[in-house]
Amino acid sequence: MFDERSASSSTRALLDARKPGHTLPAALYTGEGAYKADCDIIFSRHWIAAGVACDVAEPGDVVAVDIGPASILILRDDDNELRAFHNVCSHRGSRLVPPGRSVVGKLVCPYHQWTYDLNGSLALAPHMGVDFDRDLHHLKPVALKDIGGILYVCLSQTPPSDIDELERVMEPRLAPYDLRNAKVAFEQDIIEEGNWKLTIENNRECYHCASNHPQLSLSFHAADFGYDPDGLTEAEKIEANDLLDAYARYGAHWDNEGLDYEAVEHTVGWPTNFRTQRLIIAGLGESQTPDTRAAVAIPLGDTDRPWLGDVHLWGINSWNHVMADHAVIFTAFPIAPDRTLVRTKWLVNRDAVEGEDYTLENLTSVWKQTNREDAHLVALAHKGALSPGYRPGPYSRFTERALDEFTTWYVERMTEAETPS
Ligand code: FES
Ligand SMILES: [Fe+2]
């Protein structure tokens, strides 16, 4: 009989064993083989959210991002162009820059001082002889796309072309916020003790919000991501109808402004999966803060109306909330089968001054707390997948439709690729 947790089970057999509408076989979350296959296929052949353009605002700004075993450096060159390269020296492979942000004139390898221009060409290679051809040893480029100020990279030589669709949909939706010229007011890395797919699944539903996120729930309508119209109490029905009415009212405002707000979903069948929609913010409706009012006195871009809602964007390894006063950009990177880095960046208008126009406590407290709560839930789910008592469980067809789409997308992408056994 097929044992889904057996170390000898091939990733392909596990993918074939997936039951539609259910969570994945345990070893797809916990196994070393599945983890390696995820790094080789999902994180190496797809467009992966890697950061924000305003982190590399000036020539010489560099950010190094680890994506599975790969390290990628993203920089702005002397011609103001954004570029990405493997963070690997062409001599003997040393990492060129440490993780995180740095500012450089040129990229100088710490090992033997090979020196690269910011366009990736090798400028200096001491002691390699007069006949050494530096042109053959430039840095290895990585495909990079800046969509509305959010940066995506693809490690493949043949990146999926449907990134153009993400750009077509999101560039106009993000343009009013001018995220390219914002600033990162605060950044937080946390490690979730769970598989990256559990991190993403946890993010794709608000089924758990009311009981786990008391603070986020003040600004978030849990019903936004689905509810059972037949299973509601009378009070819940009134709330659900009120939300529909509110969308009709807000929709009229947004139409007048020419703002896109309808949901766009590219899930199963699209290599570059994403979902976006302009959401209403609950409470006083301005921002995801403890009192649901704007946290920042100077709005992003030209968004000086507090009722613009929340442009949410889900991607393969990311989720984002872009509001009039600030944006929260999340990226998730696999570190091990049972460890995932979740990086959160809070973006504000670059002219906003901390202590005068905003406080970090008010700006960051909702999502810092929500991240802690989510990390706890992801760890619980991963522990369950490690247990002999685990069996794939059914998703709610109302509140967890997006999870079924994500795991179906995952199984399809992995199955289509040449899956190692
Ligand atoms: S490994 Fe980079 S200069 Fe030698
Ligand atoms: Fe959550």
Question: Counting every residue, how long is the chain?
Answer: 421
Phi, psi of 327 (to 5 degrees): -125, 145
Q: Quick one: pLDDT band at residue 282, thresholds 50, 70, 90?
A: very high
Q: Which residue has the tokens 């989720």?
A: 319
Domain spans in the chain, listed from the N-terminal domain onward: 48-146, 168-416
Between residues 87 and 243, the one the model is more confident about = 87
Instruction: Give the distance between the most distant pair of CA atoms in the chain.
Output: 83
Assigned superfamily of 168-416: Naphthalene 1,2-dioxygenase Alpha Subunit; Chain A, domain 1 (3.90.380.10)
Q: Quick one: pLDDT band at residue 1, thresholds 50, 70, 90?
A: very low
Candidate of 96, 111, 140 to mutate for ligand 1, largest count of ligand atoms within 8 Å of Cβ: 111
User: Which ligand sits closest to the CA of 96?
Assistant: 1
Query: What are the residues whose beta carbons fall under 8 Å from the beta carbon of 4, sequence distance 6 or more?
Result: 14, 17, 25, 26, 27
Radius of gyration of the chain (CA): 22
How far apart (Å, rounded) are the C-alpha atoms in residues 324 and 298? Answer: 9
Identify the three-state secondary structure at position 106: coil
Given a cut of 70, whether residue 4 has pLDDT beyond it is no
pLDDT digits (tens, 9 = 90+) for 37-64: 999 999 999 999 999 999 999 999 999 9
pLDDT digits (tens, 9 = 90+) for 170-194: 999 999 999 999 999 999 999 999 9
Does 112 sit in the ligand 1 pocket, CB within 6 Å?
Answer: yes
Q: List alpha helices for 21-136, DSSP H.
A: 26-30, 32-45
The reply to whether CATH 2.102.10.10 applies to domain 48-146 is yes
Atom number in ligand 1 closest to CA 112: 3
User: Which ligand sits closest to the CA of 97?
Assistant: 1
| Residues 50/155, Cβ–Cβ less than 8 Å | no
Mean pLDDT across the chain:
94
| Residues 121/108, Cβ–Cβ less than 8 Å | no
Nearest CA to ligand 1 atom 3: 112
Nearest CA to ligand 1 atom 1: 92
Crossing angle (nearest 10°) for helices 401-416 and 32-45: 90
- The domains spanning 48-146 and 168-416 adopt the same CATH topology: no
Beta strands in 1-96 (DSSP E): 48-52, 61-67, 70-76, 82-86
pLDDT digits (tens, 9 = 90+) for 306-328: 889 999 999 999 999 999 999 99
Identify the three-state secondary structure at position 85: strand
What pLDDT was estimated at residue 2? 40
How far apart (Å, rounded) are the C-alpha atoms in residues 9 and 24? Answer: 14
User: Which ligand sits closest to the CA of 110?
Assistant: 1
* Separation of CA 352 and ligand 2 centre (Å): 29
Looking at residues 148-160, what average pLDDT do you find? 98
Q: Which residue has the tokens 């919000």?
A: 209
How far apart (Å, rounded) are the C-alpha atoms in residues 188 and 19? Answer: 36
